Amino acid sequence: MIVKIYYQDTDCGGVVYYANYLAYFERARTEWLNEKGISVKQLAEKGLLFVVRHAEVDYKSPAHYGEILEIHTCLENIEKTRLAFSYKIEEKQNNRLIVTGKTTLVCVDANLKPQRVPEEIRQRVSE
């Protein structure tokens, strides 16, 4: 996934604000699921949600206003109720490593009670 850094993404020094990388992870993960034929919106309408249980961000180099970033998303592991993703964000022009990270998501119902990851989702993410 490609992200262009706009002024709103940065702090007063023109560097991407550190918390924005979590939002970039979220966008990239949602697009990754969409490419697998999984609509987060449709799952939510059925009362099935994936909530972030754990997040890690390892900052390697600052990204700046106007740069183009490429976000690589990978499913690392799938368990009974969890999906674990890893991310790598690079500045596209020079392939400079900006950030690496991980998130663990838990499958829950509308009452936030953990649920088994549906078999259909397991199959789609494994393709």
CATH 3.40.50.300 matches 2-126: no
Query: What single-letter amino acid sits at 91?
Result: E
Cα dist from 94 to 4, 107, 118, whole Å: 14, 37, 40
pTM: 0.93
Residues in a beta bridge with 93: none
Query: What single-letter amino acid sits at 48?
Result: L
Q: Is 11 a catalytic residue?
A: yes
Q: How many Å is the maximal CA-CA distance in the chain?
A: 47
Candidates 9, 11, 58, 109; catalytic one: 11
pLDDT tens, N- to C-terminus, the chain (127 residues): 999 999 999 999 999 999 999 999 999 999 999 999 999 999 999 999 999 999 999 999 999 999 999 999 999 999 999 999 999 999 999 999 999 999 999 999 999 999 999 999 999 998 8
